[in-house]
Amino acid sequence: MIHSQLVLAEASLTSFATTNRFWIQLLLILGVVIAGIILTRSSAGARHQAIRRIFMALFAAVAVYFIIFPSAASQIARIVGVGRGADLLLYALVVAFFSFVATSFKRVAAMERRITELSRQLAISRAPGPEAIHQQPPTRPNEDIDPEAPTR
């Protein structure tokens, strides 16, 4: 009697774990797909965007494979000399995070240079000529930008 209860409890735990495993797999796969769609929608150059889409598709395929077959990550980890599959995935995520930080830093630096360049061009285009300086009375600096700005 006790043995049959243990077998029944074990079977119900297995079905519960399988059901929960299915749902977490489904959620992870949906997360990968959504992230892939978001990351491939870019306004970058055609070659850069094509390379990015190839890597994103490769990432999505590997992620879905590891979600469906989690033991494969452990097997690959043992082949490359890492103890567990979870550790291998953590190392890969650290590398991915640092590459994201590096590309984000480069992108922000380029954007700052572009904003500086545009600000200089705007200032030069709005600057009055030498003859206008002598003919017009001095104006408040913010007058042409926001006429309803409070004065000091």
- pLDDT, greater one: 122 or 33: 122
Predicted confidence (pLDDT) per residue in 87-124, tens digit? 888 888 887 777 777 778 888 888 999 999 999 999 99
Structural contact between residues 78 and 85, judged by C-beta atoms closer than 8 angstroms: no
* pTM to 2 decimal places: 0.51
Burial label for 128, CB within 10 Å (0-12, 13-18, 19+), is exposed
Residue 8 has pLDDT above 60, yes or no: no
Structural contact between residues 84 and 77, judged by C-beta atoms closer than 8 angstroms: yes
Average pLDDT of the segment spanning 69-92 = 84
User: What is the chain's mean pLDDT, rounded?
Assistant: 74
Distance CA 22, CA 106 (A): 40
Distance CA 128, CA 144 (A): 12
Residue 56 has pLDDT above 70, yes or no: yes
Residues 6 or more apart whose Cβ sits within 8 Å of residue 136 = 128
- pLDDT, greater one: 116 or 74: 116
Structural contact between residues 39 and 52, judged by C-beta atoms closer than 8 angstroms: yes
pLDDT at res. 122: 94
Most confident of 75-79, 113-117, 144-148: 113-117
Average pLDDT of the segment spanning 15-24 = 62
